[in-house]
Structure 1
Amino acid sequence: MKSLFSLIALFFISLTFAQRFDNIKIETTKLSDHVYMLVGAGGNIGVSIGEDGVFVIDDQFAPLSEKILTAIKALSDKPLNFLVNTHWHGDHSGGNENMAEAGATIIAHDNVRVRMEKPRRDGSKNPKEALPIVTFNDKLNINVNGEPIAVFHVENAHTDGDAILYFTESNVLHTGDTYFKGRYPFIDLNSGGSVNGYIEAAKRGLMVIDNDTKIIPGHGAPSNKSEYKAFLEMLEEIKANISKAIAEGKTEEDVAKDGSLTKKYDDLDFGSGFINSERIRVTFYKSLKGK
């Protein structure tokens, strides 16, 4: 009887989860001759199309896979060949199993596979088909659809397995969640993320682009170098403010309550997203204190 109730509960949880995405539409934005950005629910998707087939970056949640694949089919009738996960979070890798079934070889940093092999909070595990088949440590070059794509790891930024991708001919950068446009970022300290690593990731991304680069952020609308640079300045300013508070002996509770530390960016609505102003102050405090 207990097992029956568990199955019923799981059924209704799965049904509710799927219904969350019923009204989501996949929107497509063309960034270059053959590189596109897809927006739905979760992390932004990058798509390259051409004679070699379809190359995809991230895949959001599993219930959206059919809609995502339909949007891709509207761009190209070529086969789906490769999928790169920028990191392990479910809003970027939740559709992996479906994408693998559709023909994609999944690529990610070594630590992405390590984390995806671990049991979830409910004790369940990702199926083997959802795991990256090809993993890399530092950097990787992929030549597809007439251009080299530089894939490079940025250490301990959003997580410990982040990848940034640069389309060298199309001049498009996909940052994964190392960049949240116009809002405070989620720095996942429990997955190896850190403030200092996050700042270094933004600096590294800025090094490879120019004023004409189109940027696909992890979340938010398409961006550019000046907005990306302003995002880095925000990170550095908040780091300086909270480092000063720590040096003055302020506690985590003090920092959490002190809105003056982030006021400049609160006033610009940076705290209106998933991470509010109090949460970003606490994240910076914990990371900078080494907690």
Structure 2
Amino acid sequence: MRRFAILLAATFATPAAAQQDYSKVEIKVERLAPGVAVLFGAGGNIGLSFGEDGNVIIDDQFAPLVPKIEAAVKSVDSDPVRFVINTHWHGDHTGGNEAFGGAGAVIVAHDNVRRRMSVDTFSKQMDQTLKATPKAGLPVVTFAQGVTFHLNGDDIQVTHVDNAHTDGDSLVYWSRANVIHMGDTFFFKATYPFIDRESGGSIDGMIAAAKTGLGIVKPGGKVIPGHGPVATREDLQAYHAMLVDIRAKVAAGIRAGRTRAQVIASNPTAPYDGKVATDGFIKPDRFVETMYDELKAKLRR
């Protein structure tokens, strides 16, 4: 549980993240299509739109990594970062907001991202209060359902999905390049999904978000997960099927009157444990436990 608490601290809280040592972290760039790239480092994957209209980044990891992120962006395009789009509010995706916002970038996100970042929040999982983000790091443009950027020869469509990883998730799609950034509604290979129920997340919302993503990205497209390597549409389809299958098994166990421990012991993730890291941030038992607690409350109604 101690390791899980440390990981949660890095996920949620920028001050906690600042205490970690990021000196050895390298930001690696992978070009996906003309004008589109992804940056890997520590924390959530960063999408990059670059070209004649300036740089747009999707998420910005942790504050101590900002100089390295800026250097990686400049290795692709020397222009400054013009816009930052946050896929959700967690600190491993928004930790660089204050620095980029202070340097003049316009931060854009769903209404609930600004709402959650604007106030101190008590986390039961961490048993501590997460401090509000300073003004420079808050989204200054927010939306309820979505927004489109017409930049760098593409239409970058931002679509909100309800109550998935959190209550403020957005998918970001380059319509001409056929590349989609799923944020943390899609965890690929590295770990089972983290459903932040305290922030309005739900397994049904995660399943719906994956289905929405499949409806947006066309065959042959590339998929940027919140964590893990770049995926294909087929990988996203397999992820959706996995979520549906595990949910059905957990729900069946609840309807049969099994306890949480019994459902966990039935190992509903077994067919997928070889494809998803079982020692990642969210281990199989933790994933099933979270799902059980959510569905138990729903199925009582």
**TM-score, normalising length from structure 2?**
0.88
Q: Is the 8 A contact 1:60 1:93 kept in 2?
A: yes
Deviations 1:181-239 (A, max 9, x none): 12311011110000101000000000111221111110000110111111111101101
Confirm or deny that 1:127 pairs with 2:155. Answer: no
- Measured in 1, the distance between the counterparts of 2:147 and 2:16 equals 39
Aligned to 2:240: 232
- Measured in 2, the distance between the counterparts of 1:48 and 1:175 equals 15
**CA 1:14–1:181: 2 relative to 1, 3 Å:** closer
Confirm or deny that 1:166 pairs with 2:205. Answer: no
Structure 2 gap ranges (5+): 1-13, 122-127
- The alpha carbon displacement at 1:15 in A equals 9.9
Which letter does structure 2 place at the counterpart of 1:171? Answer: N
Structure 1 gap ranges (5+): 1-12
- The alpha carbon displacement at 1:267 in A equals 3.5
- Measured in 2, the distance between the counterparts of 1:74 and 1:242 equals 47
Aligned to 2:227: 219
Aligned to 1:194: 202
* Partner of residue 243 from structure 1, selected from 251, 257, 265: 251
**CA 1:16–1:64: 2 relative to 1, 3 Å:** closer
Which letter does structure 1 place at the counterpart of 2:35? Answer: H
Confirm or deny that 1:99 pairs with 2:107. Answer: no
Aligned to 2:153: 146
Q: Is the 8 A contact 1:61 1:91 kept in 2?
A: yes
- Measured in 1, the distance between the counterparts of 2:241 and 2:16 equals 43
Aligned Cα root-mean-square deviation (Å): 1.7
- Measured in 2, the distance between the counterparts of 1:47 and 1:199 equals 26
Aligned to 1:89: 90
- Measured in 1, the distance between the counterparts of 2:149 and 2:41 equals 26
Q: Is the 8 A contact 1:18 1:63 kept in 2?
A: no
Q: Is the 8 A contact 2:18 2:63 kept in 1?
A: no
Which letter does structure 1 place at the counterpart of 2:106? Answer: T
Aligned to 1:257: 265
Aligned residues: 278
Deviates most, 122-131 or 65-74: 122-131
Which letter does structure 1 place at the counterpart of 2:25? Answer: I
* Partner of residue 188 from structure 2, selected from 181, 190, 194: 181
- The alpha carbon displacement at 1:163 in A equals 0.3
Q: Bigger radius of gyration, 1 or 2?
A: 1
Which letter does structure 1 place at the counterpart of 2:265? Answer: K
Q: Is the 8 A contact 2:192 2:276 kept in 1?
A: no
SS at 1:165 equivalent: strand
- Measured in 2, the distance between the counterparts of 1:239 and 1:216 equals 24
SS at 2:218 equivalent: coil
Identity of aligned residues (%): 45
Q: Is the 8 A contact 1:79 1:103 kept in 2?
A: no
SS at 1:232 equivalent: helix
